Amino acid sequence: MLLLKSTSSSLLFLFTTTVSALSSALSSTLQHIPTFGPNPRNVSMYIYVPSNISSSAKPPILVVPHWCHGTAQAAFDGRPYATLGDTYGFISIYPNSSNTADQCWDVSSSESLTHEGGGDALSIVSMVRWAIEELGADKDRVFVTGTSSGAMMTNVLLGSYPDVFAAGSAWAGVAFGCFAAGAGQYDIWSDACATGKIIRNGSEWADIVHAAYPSYPKDAFRPKMQVLHGLNDTTLYPQNLREEVKQWTAVFGYDVKVYNETRDTPLKGWTRYSYGEKFEAYTAEGVTHDIPNQADTVMDWFDLRCKGEGCYSRRTR
C-alpha cells in the first residue's frame, strides 16, 4: 500500500494492489542505469532483470511509470511485476520523473505528444530501446501500464510511439492529448481535463493521436489498449474514461455503440466493455481515484504468462 498526496488538492491517494512484492523473495534487484540514450528530460532509468533470463529467450519488457508523488521505487515496491517477471521471464522498467515538485509525468508538452519529439515520452522510449539493444529484449513484446499520471503516460506512449509498444493498460488516466499545453509546457496540471470538461468526439480525439505521428501508416500495427476507471473518481473524473473510449475506438475504427458487456469482472461491481480485439474499457462502481490495481487483468491483456512462439506480440496480430 502506498500513500501519496495529490498535486491538485490535498487529497490522500491510497494506491493498492492485490499482490505485494516482497523484495527479499526476488531473484535480482532494481538497478539504476545512468546512461541509456536520448534523455531530454533527465528522467532516471531503473530496471529489474530477473536473474535467470537470458537474451536468447528474448524477454518481453513491461514499463511501469509511477503516479504523481510516486517514484520508481514506489512503483517497483507497490506493483507485483518484479515477482511476476521472475516467474514468467520478463524485464520491468521503472522510469523516475525528474520533476521533483510533484513527480507527475510530462503528458502535456508537444514534445511528449509528438513521435521522437522529446519530452518525458522520448526519455522513456530510450529506456526501452536500451533494453532491446543491450539485453536482447523482444522488441515486439513491449508493454506499458500505470495508474493515474502513469496511466496518462500510458496513453501518451501509445499515441506517440505506436511503433514501439505492443499494448497498454491505463488505470484511472486521461485520453491522449487531454493535458496538451504546447511546446515546452512540461509540468502542467489541467484542471479542465481532470474534472472532465474537455469533451471531444471520436474523430477529433483520433485526429490528435494521428497528429502525433502523421507519417505512421494507417494500416500499420497499432498497440492495443485497455482502460479502467472508478466511477467515483473525483480526482480524474469518470468523464475521462468516456473520452478515452471515444478516442481509442475511433483510432481502431470501432463503433463506439457496439460492444460486449461482461459484468462483475474482475471484481464485483466492475464491468468490462469490449469493443473488439484492440480495445476494452472497464468501469468500477463505487471506486474512487484509489483504484485497486489488478495485476491478473494486466497480465492477461498483455499475454505476459505466455512463453515462446504464438504469444501476443506485434508479430502475431
Ligand X SMILES: *[C@@H]1O[C@H](CO)[C@@H](O)[C@H](O)[C@H]1NC(C)=O
Coil, helix or strand at residue 260: strand
Enter the C-alpha cell of residue 159: 499515441
Q: Tell me, yes or no, if 148 is annotated catalytic.
A: yes
Which of residues 98 and 195 has its CB atom nearest to ligand X in the complex?
98
Is 95 a binding residue for ligand X by CB under 6 A? The answer is no
Whether 88 and 307 have beta carbons less than 8 Å apart is answered as yes
* Number of neighbouring beta carbons within 10 Å of residue 24: 5
Out of 201, 264, 265, 269, point to the residue binding ligand X (CB under 6 A): 201
Q: Please, which of residues 273-292 interact with ligand X by CB under 6 A?
A: 274-276, 286
Enter the C-alpha cell of residue 280: 476494452
Which range touches ligand X (CB under 6 A), out of 46-54, 117-125, 180-188, 292-300?
Answer: 46-54
User: What DSSP letter does each residue of 210-242 carry, written as one string?
Assistant: HHHSTTS-TTS---EEEEEEETT-SSS-THHHH
Quick one: how far is CA 209 from the chain centroid?
16
Is 72 a binding residue for ligand X by CB under 6 A? The answer is yes
Out of 15, 21, 40, 44, point to the residue binding ligand X (CB under 6 A): 44
Is 71 a binding residue for ligand X by CB under 6 A? The answer is yes
Is 53 a binding residue for ligand X by CB under 6 A? The answer is yes
Is 262 a binding residue for ligand X by CB under 6 A? The answer is no
Which uninterrupted H or E stretch holds 249?
helix 239-252
- CA-based nearest residue to 64, from 56, 53, 76, 52: 76
- CA-based nearest residue to 249, from 212, 218, 317, 203: 203
Residues 6+ apart with CB under 8 A from 217: none
Is 29 a binding residue for ligand X by CB under 6 A? The answer is no
Is 260 a binding residue for ligand X by CB under 6 A? The answer is yes
Is 59 a binding residue for ligand X by CB under 6 A? The answer is no
Give the shortest CB-132-to-ligand X separation in angstroms.
19
Give the shortest CB-52-to-ligand X separation in angstroms.
4
Q: List active site positions.
A: 148
Binding site for ligand X (CB under 6 A): 27, 42, 44, 46, 52-53, 71-73, 86-87, 89, 96, 98, 100, 201, 203-204, 232, 258-260, 274-276, 286
